[in-house]
Amino acid sequence: MPKQKSSQSSRMRFYVSEFGADVFSTDDIWVPDDCYIFPSSGKRNLKFQRCWFKRWNWLAYSEKDDGAYCKYCVLFAGEDGGVGKQTFGNLVKKPFKNWKDAIEVFNNHTNCEYHKTCILKGTCAKQILEKKVEPIDIQIDSGIKHKIFLIGHRDSGPLNLTEPNENDGNFRSLLRFRANSGDVALKTHLETCSKNASYTSPMIANEIISTCGDIILKKIVNKINEAKCFSILVDETSDISGIEQFSLCARYFYNGQINEDFLLFVPVTDVTGKGLASTLLTLLDLIGIDYNYMIGQGYDGAAAMSGVFHGAHVYVQEKCPLAIYVHCASHSLNLAISDACNITSIRNCLGSSFHCLFPIKEKNNSDTFENDITDLVKKYSQLLPSFSPLVVIAEFKLWSTSLQNVPKIPSNLSELLNNCNESDYPNVYKLLKIVVTLPITTATAERSFSTMRRLKTYLRNTMAENRLNELAQLNIHRTIEVNPEVV
């Protein structure tokens, strides 16, 4: 039996190693009974209160030290880890005895990050000691026994349905598991197929992934080209290898719905505005998207993207003059609110300002309607069926009259567009389609980075770009069906 140290915290550590999960039960850690009289100290005769046990269930009392301890932190806190990695003191390494400040100290301790971590460790340890959760070494051994191998692979050659002597990888293990679990078609195929037609080799698996990714991308590109009106959403980040990755997404209106779809990740070396714009336009051309129909660009506020003179949007507009740059609304709103809330006068008058703005807005709409329509017709003349502002204005007035007979007033632009008949009001329909296609936020591009971090991990940091994009297509566009016959 190891030699016990004199401190209370050391004795508690020894106790848990000897008696296991029982240490976490208040029935097994000594708790003073109802007749026990806690010692008083100081001029005010302050002492430990029994009700504190119920209020803080992590609390333990030492009769020998006449002090309080945190039973979880004593066992799992280690030697240091407080503020600035300082050595632990009261409640952990030393008994707490300052009863005057007890409630404040106990509340502060409850909110400490190291205390929360110790409680989590204690809960896990208790589950393991009570056999509710198996230790990690047993879980790994169980995974190997169930043929779900964790590392290594020998995934070539015939697939044997019996347990192999050597690790042949997750893919073949899962195929074996499914075949042995009742998938008759798969089992028959694996047992009767010729050696050159099993479709389980690494080369074939990679070709299937590549083909599926290409099919998904082609479907999205076809929808964008059919819409004949789209915006791009772009954001940039570094992957696990330190490579600058350019996430390209598209926003378009198709089959009565607004779509924002991920297209590709692109590694970039030239991160200047001109370099990024060149990469963007080259990529659109490469995957078959006609960028002459681009009417919007959505970026964050980075200087390389949004710079007035040398931002990427300036160079894109040289090739696509209709592509309006829109700063991500989420970033703009966050910056505006953050700055405005620092000014008391703005914060106080915000409520009344909205009431003043509404009548002004209505007046302006009436006064400038025809001028706005004229400007829009001039800007988007190559996309509109009619070149005459008078025709478009008359069409708008006729359409607004027809809206009065709609049972339910549309609550958003998408519903408004679906209530506009393209054959009756072609110019109105096209202008509304342009409005709903303009970018709002770059959230879709930012969400794609979560997928990238799941796919290109520390253990897969050498993944090629084609492989990353193919897996990303399959992971992000799960609702897009891929016909096995086409593959």
**263 is a domain residue:** yes
Last residue of a domain, one of 129, 164, 189: 129
Q: Are residues 351 and 370 in the same domain?
A: yes
Q: Is residue 485 part of a domain?
A: no
Residue 58 lies in a domain: yes
Q: How far is the C-alpha of 293 from the C-alpha of 106, rounded, in Å?
A: 64
> What is the β-pairing status of strands 294-299 and 257-267?
unpaired
Q: What is the pLDDT along the chain (487 residues), one digit of tens a residue?
A: 334 344 545 555 444 444 444 455 544 677 888 888 899 888 888 999 989 988 998 899 988 888 999 988 888 887 666 555 667 888 988 899 999 999 999 999 998 888 888 888 888 777 767 765 555 555 555 554 444 444 445 666 777 788 776 767 777 888 888 888 878 888 888 888 887 788 888 888 888 888 999 999 999 999 999 999 999 999 888 888 888 898 999 999 998 889 999 999 999 888 888 888 999 999 999 999 998 899 999 888 777 777 777 788 889 988 888 888 887 766 666 666 666 667 766 666 665 555 555 554 444 455 577 777 777 777 777 777 776 778 888 888 888 888 887 778 777 778 888 888 888 888 888 888 888 898 888 888 889 988 898 888 877 777 888 889 999 999 999 888 888 877 7
Residue carrying the six token digits 């076809």: 222
329: its two tokens: 């609304």
Whether 190 is covered by a domain: the verdict is yes
Q: Residue 128 has which token pair?
A: 């393991």
Q: Give the structural domain span for 192.
A: 147-200
- Both 456 and 394 in one domain: the answer is no
Do 406 and 310 share a structural domain? no
Q: Is residue 176 part of a domain?
A: yes
Q: How far apart are the first and last CA of the chain?
A: 67
CATH number of the domain that residue 268 is part of: 3.30.420.10
23 and 124 both lie in a single domain? yes
At 214, which helix (H) or strand (E)? Answer: helix 202-227
* CB contact set of 277 (below 8 Å; sequence gap of 6+): 312, 313, 314, 315, 316
* Residue 380 located in a structural domain: yes
The pairing of beta strand 294-299 with beta strand 324-327: parallel
Spatial distance between the Cα atoms of 296 and 229, rounded to a whole number of angstroms: 9
Number of domains in the chain: 4
Say whether both 184 and 324 belong to one domain. no
Verify that 221 and 157 share a domain, yes or no: no
Are residue 33 and residue 60 in the same domain, yes or no? yes
- Cβ-in-10-Å burial (0-12, 13-18, 19+) of 383 comes to middle
- Both 227 and 321 in one domain: the answer is yes
Q: Where does 271-403 show beta strands of DSSP type E?
A: 294-299, 324-327
**Looking at the structure, do residues 80 and 212 belong to the same domain, yes or no?**
no
Distance between CA 467 and CA 237 in Å, rounded? 18
Tell me: do 402 and 259 sit in the same domain.
no
Looking at the structure, tell me whether residues 312 and 226 fall in a common domain. Answer: yes
Same domain for 324 and 212, yes or no, is yes
In a domain, 433, yes or no: yes
CA–CA distance, 189 with 197 (Å, rounded to integer): 9
Q: Which two tokens stand for residue 221?
A: 């590109």
Classify residue 342: in a domain, yes or no. yes
Global pTM value: 0.60
- From 183, 200, 217, the end of a domain falls on 200
